[in-house]
Amino acid sequence: MAKTILVTGAAGGLGKAIATAFLAAGDNVVICDVNPQRIASVEEEWAKSYAGRFLTKQADVTDETSVQGLIDAAASQFGRLDVLVNNAGIMDGFEPVGAISKEKWDRVLNVNLNGPFLTTRAAIAQFEKQEPAGGVIINIGSIASIHGFKSGAAYAASKAALVALTKNTAGYYGDKGIYCMALLLGGMDTNITDAFAHGLHMEMFQKVQASQTPFTPERSVPLESVAKYCQFLTDPEIAPSANGSCILFNKNWPEA
């Protein structure tokens, strides 16, 4: 039976790869993004191959009203919601705590932590009221979730907090048939580095680089591999056992 999947920040990069994999498997997919042009481009691309099985929405995951509208639209279009993938995220500029502005700190925490909080809360309400009840939440974390010196202070703090949110959600809702897990990803070829266009704290960046084996393209985690892992975790026989898991998926970079 086809599932309904919601992927945030999915008009490009990893989110789009995850959404496309579920569509190719026959599931229904809802994606959102803050960029209307990117959303329109994806809608045009998918129209011929996946007509009737996807919904695109411009939405801001940091806005409570926008998030509720997104969840309601998904349930209205396809009758229920089965999976939420919290993919939307932004990078900092590798600023240490003494150098980052309050504005940038708030922005990174707002998208990377408040966003998953709002979408998770709204999705759980939908999971609980539908028949049959239940659902799966996959949070896209990072090696920075467990290694504090792999990014700037704001990004590291946001992704570490996402692990705590994952485990807390799994602990309370698991016996209700609502499962939550996180993928802690290594380096990937995505558009998250667009943040560096607004400035890079070079001293911090160089210290982080010097503390580990340099990242090279062959160490990049393929987007398609992450998408397959997301599909695996939503299998009804796998999700209960994976509940609460925070899985390092990093092509062994940085080395264990």
Which of 118, 114, 165 has its CA nearest to residue 139? 165
Active site residues: 155, 159
Q: Which two tokens stand for residue 57?
A: 């929405």
Q: Which pLDDT does position 192 carry in this prediction? A: 47
- Beta-bridged to residue 183, according to DSSP, are 140, 247
Residues ≥6 apart with Cβ < 8 Å to 26: 2
Which DSSP category does 238 fall into? T
Which of 23, 3, 21, 248 has its CA nearest to residue 140? 248
Half-sphere exposure of 196 (CA within 13 A, CB side): 11
Highest CATH level, class, for 4-249 = alpha beta
CA dist 129 and 125 (Å) reads 6
The domain limits of the chain are 4-249
Q: Which two tokens stand for residue 248?
A: 């390092």
Q: Which pLDDT does position 194 carry in this prediction? A: 56
Question: What pTM did the predictor assign?
Answer: 0.96
The residue written with tokens 């026989």 in the block is: 237
- The DSSP annotation for 115-176 comes to HHHHHHHHHHHHHHHSSS--EEEEEEEEGGGT-TTSS-HHHHHHHHHHHHHHHHHHHHHGGG
Residue ranges in the chain modelled with pLDDT below 50: 192-193
- The DSSP annotation for 194-221 comes to GGGGG---HHHHHHHHHTSPPP-GGGPP
Distances (CA, A) of 168 to 135, 146, 179, 226: 16, 16, 11, 23
170-176 long-range Cβ contacts below 8 angstroms, 24+ apart: 170/243, 170/244, 171/244, 173/124, 174/240, 174/243, 174/244, 176/128, 176/133, 176/134
